[in-house]
Chains A and B, each alone.
Chain A
Amino acid sequence: MHLSLDRLANVTGFGMTAGADGYLYRPTQVEEFHQILALAQQSGRQISLRGSGRSYGDANIGSESILLDITRFNRILDFDPTTGLINCEAGVTLEQLWRYTLESGFWPPVVSGTMFPTLGGALGMNLHGKNAFKAGPIGNHVTEIEVLFPNGNQEILTPEQPLFHQVISTAGLLGIILRVKLKMKRISSGDLRVLPISIPNWDGQFRVFEQEREQADYMVSWIDCFGRGKSAGRGLFHAGYYTEDPSPNPITLRPEHQDLPDTILTYFPKSIVWRFLKKLNNRPGMNFVNWAKYTSSRILGNGRPHPQSLVGFSFLLDYVPNWRLAYGSSGFIQYQTFVPAEHAPRVFARQLELQQATKLESFLGVMKRHIPDKFLFSHAVDGYSLALDFKITERNKDAVWRLAHQMNELVLEAGGRFYLAKDSTLTPEHFAQSIGMDALETYAKLKTTLDPQAILTSDLAKRLHLDPRA
């Protein structure tokens, strides 16, 4: 039996470095998910799950597989404005969530730097945000999921069941999350108090994170990866604090207060900004941009708290539409590693030195604080993460991969971890070492029971040997 060729679609990961053709299905009903599973069994073809396609690497693509895209399966089924419990189909996005609940005084408990991920994708990867050091990953705030397993079972799982912590975080390779019940965070104002602090070096970075950890609700720091010597690790730290608004119907809770402006510097339509960024998207250009940003951070607003909307603070990546196109046709990779607090200063400093030695500095560096969680493929540690963006070209590709592998070694020596949503460079050995053999054995056992024919896959699963068929 062969599938109709006109179902085929070419899709890429968000970084556009990995692409694949798959037979695209976008179901709207639960029965269709069952039919697609049956189709996979009959045709001997595998299924790759895809949400909004925001994973940077190859987690959301599967060569020649059935590409099960959940973006049309996106109804909000139920919301209780007294408790903040919301029940959604898995294709509901973070944007849908905040738009739906904000005026009732609720905000998603964990959000990424972009509002477009679906809940299904967010739980597959167990996404985190700038509040990871307090709130952990999004899975910590889920009270119930309904999962369709390839063995035909459809089950409701709650945090009391071990399987709940195993389905979440395993990149959609054990079961298809159909429905999610989530506890939203109660807020009384749509604005945060935001404190920017310009930081001269690595020491300053780690100090400010530890110092703000108790009071702050959100913490993130931008790192200028071109800073070297005494200035290595310089950047701009931001802490965000929830605020109280005493009025009964705060204006800040209206979506129109939250919406990002569609121009930049009042006049330039944002839709064209990426074209200008593209001109600067090279080593000297980005060296200059990073320097300019750091220099201005020391003068403008340093240490002075100001109010900022939740959307404006949270979804930095959505400020410039299509920003990824500024990286050019060969795309870019995101590289994020998680290192225990005691080793992070050494590992991050060394990662930066390696980049500078090879003249492959990341154009953007972002640092966050994390706490451990009990999900099977947890990426978090009691420590810090550093996320880096590398532009990929035909010429530098091999060198970037070599650099990534060198940086991986540092992370592994320090007992660190990696994040599948952002990975493009891991080898099966690196992944196994980071996650531990116990976790991998548990995964293999579960895979045999829940997905005996190894129907669920992705190019990432094949690359990391998480797909028994590969």
Chain B
Amino acid sequence: MPTKVIGQKAIIVGASSGIGAELARQIAEGGGLVATVARRTDRLQPLADKYPERVFPFTHDVTNYAEAPEVFQKCTDALGGLDFIIYCSGVMPEVGPHEYNTDKDLSMVDVNISGAVAWLNAAATRMESTGHGSIIGIGSVAGDRGRCAQPVYNSSKAFLHTYLEALRNRLAKKGVKVVTIKPGPTESEMTQGMKGTMPVKDAAAKIINLKDRTGEHYLKITHRIAFFIIKRIPSPIFRKLKI
């Protein structure tokens, strides 16, 4: 059980399922304060009922970008400050190998990219002023290469990695930490049916331990090694492989 969160104030965007829900649960259990943000409030309520003093649920659809700064401020008011924010919202609709469905693709752009920018910009504005806090984005190993199976999901995560890197470079001198987490497949609604997924409990515990370590992090050493190599495979060869 991570003990690093006692008394800390956190916002979890996308807290209704998957890694986000587990992060919120572990933070609340570990003695931290957490504002949980999601579209499906009914999913947030049980945790808030269990820890009414420490969990503050907010209903918000991340595709409603204009609303983000206001909800962000409601969160920080409820928490009485902010130590870290984790943007976990993400979608990965099933895409066929020959499918080019713009609606599906743009839904990923909305949630994985635009929502992230709206929320993390708000956090960056605040933290640049206060010089305090961590911004954590859940990227993915999928963002390391453009692959056949998920063109837009791959690129949405690549966007997030580069955006977070830029935030990191901007905010480093202010003492603000920006952390990119690149999980592999993790047990969640998004990965139902996939094999070899990491239990969401483990992933969340690792993320909490990494929350103040500015930089990019894989959650498994095997991922780190594998993707070190995969990233360096020349394109002409890569397109002939079935990775």
Chain B nearest Cβ from A373, distance in angstroms = 34
Q: Which residues of B in the span 27-86 have a Cβ within 8 Å of any Cβ on A?
A: 69-70, 73, 76-77, 80-82
Residues in B whose Cβ lies below 8 Å from that of A19: 132
Q: Number of A-B pairs whose CB atoms are under 8 Å?
A: 38
Which residues does chain A contribute within 8 Å of B129, judged by CB atoms?
Answer: 5-10
Instruction: Check B2 for interface membership: any CB of A closer than 8 A.
Output: no
**Docked pose: A19 CA to B81 CA in angstroms:** 10
Q: Report whether B126 and A8 are in contact in the complex, using a CB–CB cutoff of 8 Å.
A: yes
Q: What residue in chain B is nearest A20 (Cβ atoms)?
A: B81
Q: Within the complex, what minimum Cβ distance (angstroms) separates A394 from chain B?
A: 11
With A10-B132, A21-B130: A5-B125 Cβ-Cβ less than 8 Å: yes
Instruction: Given A10-B131, A21-B132, decide whether A5 and B80 contact each other with a Cβ distance below 8 A.
Output: no
Chain A, residue nearest B127 (CB): A8
The reply to whether A6 and B125 contact each other, CB–CB distance below 8 Å, is yes
Given contacts A5-B122, A5-B125, contact A21 B82 (CB under 8 A): yes
Contact of B70 among A2, A6, A9, A20 (CB under 8 A): A2
Is B81 in contact with A64, judged by CB distance below 8 angstroms? yes
- Residues 90-134 of B at the A interface (beta carbon under 8 Å): 122, 125-126, 128-132
Give complex CA distance A361, B235 in Å. Answer: 66
Within 8 A of A (CB), among B126-155: 126, 128-132
Question: What mask results when residues 182 to 226 of chain A are scored 1 for a CB within 8 Å of chain B, else 0?
Answer: 000000000000000000000000000000000000000000000
Number of interface residues of A (CB under 8 A): 13
Counting CB contacts under 8 A, is A63 at the interface? yes
> In whole angstroms, what is the CA distance A2 to B69 when docked?
9
- With a cutoff of 8 Å between Cβ atoms, the chain A residues found around residue B77 in the complex are 64
Chain A contacts with B in 26-68, Cβ cutoff 8 A:
63-64
Among B77, B126, B128, B130, which residue has the most Cβ atoms of chain A within 10 A? B130
What's the nearest-Cβ distance from chain A to residue B108, in Å? 28
A121 to B70, CA, bound (A): 33
Give the contacting residue for A5; candidates B69, B81, B131, B132; CB below 8 A.
B69
Which residues of A sit under 8 angstroms from B130, Cβ to Cβ? 8-10, 21
Give the nearest-CB partner of A11 in chain B: B130
By beta carbon, the residue of chain B nearest A2 is: B73
* Complex: chain A residue closest to B128, CB-CB: A6
Q: Tell me, in angstroms, the Cα distance from A7 to B131 when the chains sit together.
A: 12
Distance from A398 Cβ to chain B, minimum over Cβ atoms (Å): 11
Q: Residue of B at shortest CB range from A45?
A: B77
Q: Which residues of A sit under 8 angstroms from B122, Cβ to Cβ? A: 5
- Verify B132–A63 contact, CB threshold 8 A: no
Most chain B beta carbons < 10 A, residue from A3, A5, A6: A5
CB-defined contacts of B70 to chain A, threshold 8 Å: 2
With both chains docked as a complex, state the minimum distance between the C-beta of A46 and any C-beta of chain B, in angstroms: 10
Among B81, B128, B131, B132: residue with most chain A CB under 10 A: B81
Q: How far is the CB of B12 from chain A (nearest CB, A)?
A: 19
Determine if B73 and A5 form an interchain contact, defined as CB atoms under 8 angstroms apart: yes
> What distance in Å separates the Cβ of B130 from its nearest Cβ neighbour in chain A?
4
A6, A9, A21, A63 pick with most chain B CB within 10 angstroms: A21
Chain A residue nearest to B74 (CB atoms) is A2
Query: Closest chain A residue to B175 by CB distance?
Result: A10
Query: What is the bound-complex CA distance between A5 and B77, given in angstroms?
Result: 12
Q: Contacts of B128 on A, CB cut-off 8 Å?
A: 6
CB of B81 to closest CB in A, whole Å: 5
Contacts of A63 in B (CB 8 A): 80-81
Q: How far is the CA of A379 from the CA of B125 in the complex (A)?
A: 41
Per-position binary interface string of chain A over residues 7-27, scored 1 when its CB falls under 8 Å from any chain B CB and 0 otherwise: 111100000000111000000
Given contacts A8-B126, A9-B130, A10-B130, contact A21 B73 (CB under 8 A): no
Cα separation A21 to B131 with both chains bound (whole Å): 10
Kindly supply a per-residue 1/0 record for chain A positions 62-79, scoring 1 wherever the CB is within 8 Å of any chain B CB and 0 otherwise: 011000000000000000
Whether B81 pairs with A21 at a CB distance below 8 angstroms is yes
Q: Are B76 and A64 in contact (CB under 8 A)?
A: yes
Q: How far is the CB of A42 from chain B (nearest CB, A)?
A: 14
Least CB distance, B190 to chain A, in whole angstroms: 31
Query: In the docked arrangement, what's the CA distance between A159 and B70, Å?
Result: 46
Question: A21's closest neighbor in chain B, by CB?
Answer: B130
Expressed in whole angstroms, the minimum distance between the Cβ of B115 and any Cβ of chain A is 18
Q: Which residues of A contact B131 (CB under 8 A)?
A: 10
Q: Are B69 and A64 in contact (CB under 8 A)?
A: no
B80 is contacted by which of A7, A8, A64 (Cβ under 8 Å)? A64
A257 to chain B, nearest CB (A): 40
How many Å from the CB of A103 to the closest CB on chain B? Answer: 41
Nearest CB in chain B: distance from A450 CB, A: 25
Chain B residues in 8 Å Cβ range of A21: 76, 81-82, 126, 130, 132
Interchain CA distance A7-B126 in the complex, whole Å:
8
- In the bound assembly, the distance between CA atoms of A6 and B76 in angstroms comes to 14
By a CB distance below 8 angstroms, the chain B residues around A20 are 80-81
Point out the residues of chain B lying under 8 angstroms from A10, CB to CB: 129-132
Q: Which residues of A contact B73 (CB under 8 A)?
A: 2-3, 5
In the complex, chain B residues whose CB is within 8 Å of the CB of A3: 73
The chain A residue with its CB closest to the CB of B70 is A2
Q: How long is the Cα–Cα vector from A176 to B81 in the complex, in angstroms?
A: 25
Please give, as numbers and ranges, the residues of chain A lying within 8 Å of B82 by CB-CB distance: 21
Chain A residues whose C-beta falls within 8 Å of the C-beta of B126 in the assembled complex = 5, 8, 21
| Set of chain B residues within 8 Å of A9, measured between Cβ atoms | 129-130
Which partner residue on chain B sits nearest A1 by CB separation? B70
B81 proximity list for chain A (CB < 8 A): 20-21, 63-64
Q: Closest approach, in angstroms, between the C-beta of B67 and any C-beta of chain A?
A: 11
Q: State A2–B132 Cα separation when bound (angstroms).
A: 21
A to B CB contacts below 8 Å, 25 in the list: A2-B69, A2-B70, A2-B73, A3-B73, A5-B69, A5-B129, A6-B125, A6-B128, A6-B129, A7-B129, A8-B126, A8-B130, A9-B129, A9-B130, A10-B130, A10-B131, A10-B132, A20-B81, A21-B76, A21-B82, A21-B126, A63-B80, A63-B81, A64-B77, A64-B81
Which 10 residue pairs of A and B lie closest in terms of their CB atoms, listed nearest first?
A10-B130, A63-B80, A8-B129, A5-B125, A2-B73, A10-B132, A21-B130, A5-B126, A63-B81, A8-B130
Q: A2-B73, A9-B130, A20-B80 are in contact. List 18 more A-B contacts (CB 8 A).
A: A5-B69, A5-B73, A5-B122, A5-B126, A5-B129, A6-B128, A6-B129, A8-B126, A8-B129, A8-B130, A10-B129, A10-B130, A10-B132, A21-B76, A63-B81, A64-B77, A64-B80, A64-B81
Residues of A near any B CB (own CB < 8 A):
2-3, 5-10, 19-21, 63-64
